[in-house]
Amino acid sequence: MTESESASDNQRPWQSYHTVYTNAKAGMDGVDKEKVQRIVYEMSKGSKYFENEERKEAFIRQKIEHMRARAAKLSATDLSHYQKVVDKRILELEATRELSRIWLHVDMDAFYAAVETLSNPSLKGKPVAVGSMSMISTANYEARKFGVRAAMPGFIARKLCPELIFVPTDFKKYTYYSDLTRKVFRNYDPNFMAASLDEAYLDITGVCKEREITGEEIAEELRSRVHEDTGLTCSAGVAPNRLLAKVCSDINKPNGQFVLPNDRMAVMAFISSLPIRKIGGIGKVTENILRGVFGISTCEEMLRKGSFLCALFSRSTADFFLSVGLGLGGTDMPEARFRKSISSERTFSATQDAALLYQKLADIAEMLSADMQKEGLSGRTLTLKLKTASFEVRTRAMTLQKYICSRDDVLKYASKLLKAELPISLRLIGLRVSHFNEDKGGVPVDPTQKTLTTFLISEDASRRIVNDHSSLGPDLSDLHFMNERETALSMDSHETCQYEFGNPFESTHLPDMDDNNCISSENAWEMEKTCELSNNKTAAMVKTADWIVPTPKSPKKEILRVSEEDYSVQRESEDSNPDRLNKETSGNEEPFSSNEMKQLFWVDDYKCSLCGAELPSCFVEERQEHFDFHFAEKLQREESVLDSSALMPRQRIVPKDCVASQSRRKKQKSQVSKICYPNPRIPCRTQTVAVSQLSVSPLQSSSNQISPKTHLNTLQTGTKPYDRTTSNVIKEATISKPSMSDILASSRAQNFDLQLQTLGPFFRITAKSLDTNRELGRAEGLIRVWFGGRILHLDSIRLKRETLGMERSIFGIGLFIGAVAIRYGYDCGCKTAELLAINDSDLYHSKLVRFYKRIGFKAVHEVTGSTIGDMPHMLIWGGIGTRMDASVEELLVKWCSRLKSQK
DNA sequence: GCGGATCAC
DNA sequence: TATGGTGATCCGC
């Protein structure tokens, strides 16, 4: 932010409060925007809604910063590569340009307000808003002069325009008039596409030819006939495609029209200066990102910055942006689309009274069930939507074995979902059912879903009547048919190459295995790694080819889903270091020999001779630890030449009954509860759920589940999620230990992101690079109940190979992952942490034990397998080695300085 | 499949 | 006093 900007922010803070209301809309030309902005700001300031908007804005700003950084990192080589990609892509898109069809978009002027004025002529000439004090649906043009507009709360609108007349919505009326307009539309295109009650797209190519008149004349005629039949005015846009027609209908609103000729030059001239926000599909956020990151504000600039767009967005998104820059849009008639979900939600005054919330839930379930039965629908996925008193929105979903539609069924499962969220203070509850029974019939869903490319090219899509749903009410006829981005770009169901071995967090199919249906964890790990590696490589390479020579029928869909970052990383490695790929794939490097290990020394008494990491000589322990890292790397390489990863203590052999437990776990899948810790610098909702949310997994509501509970919970005042950092009492209790946010802040300072997932008693912690989004390592374990209290059972900690070369490994990603586990255990009330330093070979075993001792564990038992007493240990741990324990609290204290000083 | 976010009307 | 409801899609797990 520049100085002048921040200065004006201080003097005129409303300028930094971005709402959708300032978006230029028809009829708002003469509005004093500064004044509107100020009033909106002043009316909103300090409210919960406002605070939430600020949180969201901060999040977007951060996103923009991150993308900016990524854009800045692109090398000249990268950019010239992407420029070639763009040039090629533009040619391909250009080849799909279709100028033979004439589309007309018709949009009723201030529809609801106009209808109300029709039925109550005394409103004529006066400012009218349809809606309530809390929300306005439509404002007429008289009201818009004051800055009043749709989606604005009524009480703010009244402040802007004290004379404003409020009229409640009456959908019956609007549907009646909508039907009248549609009768007119049908004369020009019997297959017209209704976009909503007041908007439609008509392909008037045929009628223009038949009557040998221009699109302009058709538009004039249609508009006057609509006026004759309804008394309402409308605006129209005529253009070679729907995207442009929609933009055109907005130009001479109200009661006007604009015609864009079917001529490439005319289209390009039109698009060149068009603000991107005018394009359907580009909203407030996308506009902000495009402007903030790339300085794009007009469609033409999409083409100029094409290389950046291709580098930073997914292919489909980049394609959409480029096609916007070229003024391309849908010209064919898309297939009829059927409803995919049905929902019901209500806002009420915020409450945390559980009984009241259940009552609201029952009401919603009732309404939803009634709607479903009206439509003859039943579905198997139920989604609960919640909006907290602070306007944070959450959804919780479950997919059932059976299809449901009855009130009782809906309520039964919805209650389970809600129960897991209590206690909570809510202002909205909603329910949605999807995965309809009819889905299986395959009628509505095109089996060969189109990509944007094929969508743009294909003109042969069979025409279907999509406008004759009047009897079904507004819901169905209001489905969106016109948004190419939405209708054409869905590419679902990528298959990842993953094998699961008794992992409670994942439950896809088992790989083909031996007769005994069992596989050692070693093999599992190897297979997973091998597969992951080859998969990534193939994907990246095919992706490269795909960009350059797109194949309409891509061999594997998942390939297209490879993230852009993977792509750029791959490119980088190809460009700058051709050997890297070979290294990674050959996997035949010689592991460190014992001699090589000895070669670790400190260059200039400061720098590691093996990896270049710098560490002053006074860091004795850290140096030892650093040595251990290289040692772990060596262990890993020696253990598996195929395995490209380094494995820091790996323990565990999957028991023989893994298949049985697998299937049991499969059933639990939909109930995985995931907790993400967002960047602590960003105030957003998940931050405060750090601990309290851990107890919400539906699984944990059943009797034998461990409900992670923090000793700090007892200090909670009650319902509101507490904030450790602001409560003095709580601060006192944690002062000597790193909090979860401390740990996360430290990890983020080192540019990686930690995530904790729980499933009942099980947990998993994964570390990901913020730069590449790749996983760097993970830990898994569970909280188990024992006589003396709960125990944090650490099953495995794995680090990926790329972690090891990094400078940050001085402080060890493993340490951070461990720290999250320990902190989680601490918050769950565990006093003790336990693990098994596996004894695969004596040589490494003693090293492993030393490593664990250094970080705070003590050996408690040697599991040798030679005594009967070892049986329980072996059953639990699946192997032999040294059982080691540590005090959770002591570990936290011991690691404190490191985890708190990294910020 | 889930959850968050965005978008449109 | 007070900031909606419905449906769809995309992305990243």
Nucleotide nearest to A133 (CA to C1'): C2
Asked if residue A387 and residue A288 are part of one domain, the reply reads no
- Give yes or no for a cis peptide into A649 (omega within 30° of 0): no
pLDDT at residue number A423: 96
Residue scoring higher pLDDT (A750 or A628): A750
pLDDT at residue number A884: 83
Q: Which of A297, A326, A355 is the last residue of a domain?
A: A326
Q: Which of A421, A437, A453 is the last residue of a domain?
A: A437
Q: A283 pLDDT band (50/70/90 cuts)?
A: very high
* Nucleotides of C strand lying within 7 Å of any protein CB atom: 1-13
Each residue of A17-69: pLDDT tens digit? Answer: 888 886 667 777 788 888 999 999 999 999 999 999 999 999 999 999 999 99
What kind and span of H or E run contains A714? none
A604 three-class SS: coil
| Protein residue at shortest CA distance from C1' of C13 | A674
Each residue of A393-409: pLDDT tens digit? Answer: 999 999 999 999 999 99
- Residues A630-638 have a mean pLDDT of 56
> Do the Cβ atoms of A192 and A205 come closer than 8 Å?
no
Does A767 reside within a domain?
A: yes
Q: Which of A392, A412, A437 is the last residue of a domain?
A: A437
A133 CB neighbour count, 10 Å cutoff: 13
Does A476 reside within a domain?
A: no
A493, A494, A550, A556, A841 from A454: Cα distances, Å: 18, 19, 11, 16, 58
Task: Read off the tokens for A694.
Answer: 């851990």
A606 CB neighbour count, 10 Å cutoff: 11
Q: What is the CATH number of the domain that holds A225?
A: 3.30.70.270
Residue whose pair of structure tokens reads 């004349």 in the numeric block = A217
**Secondary structure letter of residue A210 according to DSSP:** H
Asked if residue A264 and residue A141 are part of one domain, the reply reads yes
- Residues A685-705 have a mean pLDDT of 27
Q: Choose among A71, A65, A72: nearest CA to A681.
A: A65
- Asked whether residue A211 carries a pLDDT value surpassing 70, the answer given is yes
Asked if residue A255 and residue A143 are part of one domain, the reply reads yes
- Asked whether residue A231 carries a pLDDT value surpassing 60, the answer given is yes
Q: What is the CATH number of the domain that holds A388?
A: 3.30.1490.100
Question: What does the buried/exposed string (b/e) look like for A431-463 if buried means 16 or more CB atoms within 10 Å of the residue's CB?
Answer: bbbbbbebbeeeeebeeebbbbbebbbeeeeee
A593 CB neighbour count, 10 Å cutoff: 11
- Residues A141-158 have a mean pLDDT of 96
pLDDT at residue number A850: 72
Q: Choose among A138, A177, A172, A132: nearest CA to A156.
A: A132
Give, in Å, how far the C1' of C6 lies from the CA of A5. Answer: 39
Kindly determine whether the C-beta of residue A152 is less than 7 Å away from any atom of nucleic acid strand B: no
Nucleotide nearest to A669 (CA to C1'): B1
Each residue of A479-515: pLDDT tens digit? Answer: 232 332 222 222 222 222 221 222 323 222 222 222 2
Domain count within chain A: 3
Q: A623 pLDDT band (50/70/90 cuts)?
A: low
Kindly determine whether the C-beta of residue A760 is less than 7 Å away from any atom of nucleic acid strand B: no
Does A641 reside within a domain?
A: no
> How are strands ordered across the β-sheet holding A257-259?
A193-196, A199-203, A103-108, A234-239, A257-259
Provide residues 584-623 of A with CB closer than 7 Å to any strand B atom: none
- Residues A782-787 have a mean pLDDT of 76
Q: A225 pLDDT band (50/70/90 cuts)?
A: very high
- N- to C-terminal Cα distance for chain A? 24
**Backbone φ and ψ of A452, nearest 5°:** -60, -40
Mean pLDDT, all residues of chain A? 70
Each residue of A405-414: pLDDT tens digit? Answer: 999 999 999 9
- Residues A631-637 have a mean pLDDT of 56
pLDDT at residue number A361: 98
Task: Read off the tokens for A353.
Answer: 């009274």
Q: What is the CATH number of the domain that holds A858?
A: 3.40.630.30
Asked if residue A346 and residue A285 are part of one domain, the reply reads no
Does A843 reside within a domain?
A: yes
Nucleotide nearest to A491 (CA to C1'): C10
Q: Choose among A104, A113, A131: nearest CA to A199.
A: A104
pLDDT at residue number A845: 66
Task: Read off the tokens for A332.
Answer: 């064919």
Does A747 reside within a domain?
A: yes
Each residue of A168-200: pLDDT tens digit? Answer: 999 999 999 999 999 999 999 999 999 999 999
Provide the pairing of β-strand A607-608 with A602-603.
Answer: antiparallel
Asked if residue A195 and residue A84 are part of one domain, the reply reads yes
Give, in Å, how far the C1' of C5 lies from the CA of A398. Answer: 22
- Asked whether residue A141 carries a pLDDT value surpassing 80, the answer given is yes
Give the whole-angstrom CA distance, residue A459 versus residue A713: 62
Q: Choose among A817, A794, A820, A790: nearest CA to A709.
A: A790
Asked if residue A401 and residue A311 are part of one domain, the reply reads no
Does A616 reside within a domain?
A: no
DSSP collapsed to 3 states, A528-558: HHHHHHHHHHHHHHHHHHHHHCCCCCCCCHH
- Asked whether residue A569 carries a pLDDT value surpassing 60, the answer given is no
Does A499 reside within a domain?
A: no
Give, in Å, how far the C1' of B7 lies from the CA of A280. Answer: 8
AA identity, residue A479: L
Task: Note if the pTM is more than 0.75.
Answer: no
Asked if residue A357 and residue A276 are part of one domain, the reply reads no
Give, in Å, how far the C1' of C10 lies from the CA of A536. Answer: 22
- Asked whether residue A230 carries a pLDDT value surpassing 50, the answer given is yes
> Do the Cβ atoms of A743 and A892 come closer than 8 Å?
no
Asked if residue A784 and residue A873 are part of one domain, the reply reads yes
Task: Read off the tokens for A875.
Answer: 């059953």
Q: Which of A237-246, A248-257, A339-348, A825-834 has the lowest mean pLDDT?
A: A825-834
pLDDT at residue number A631: 60
Size (chain A), residues: 903
Asked if residue A157 and residue A298 are part of one domain, the reply reads yes
Q: Choose among A903, A421, A439, A504: nearest CA to A694.
A: A421
- Residues A575-579 have a mean pLDDT of 32
pLDDT at residue number A632: 56
**Backbone φ and ψ of A622, nearest 5°:** -65, -35
Asked if residue A828 and residue A785 are part of one domain, the reply reads yes
pLDDT above 70 coverage of chain A, percent: 60
Asked if residue A322 and residue A361 are part of one domain, the reply reads no
Does A520 reside within a domain?
A: no
Asked if residue A321 and residue A345 are part of one domain, the reply reads no
- Expressed as residue numbers, the domain containing A401 is 341-437
**Secondary structure letter of residue A511 according to DSSP:** P
A433 three-class SS: strand
Give the whole-angstrom CA distance, residue A878 versus residue A655: 7
Task: Read off the tokens for A473.
Answer: 């009410």
Residue scoring higher pLDDT (A827 or A372): A372
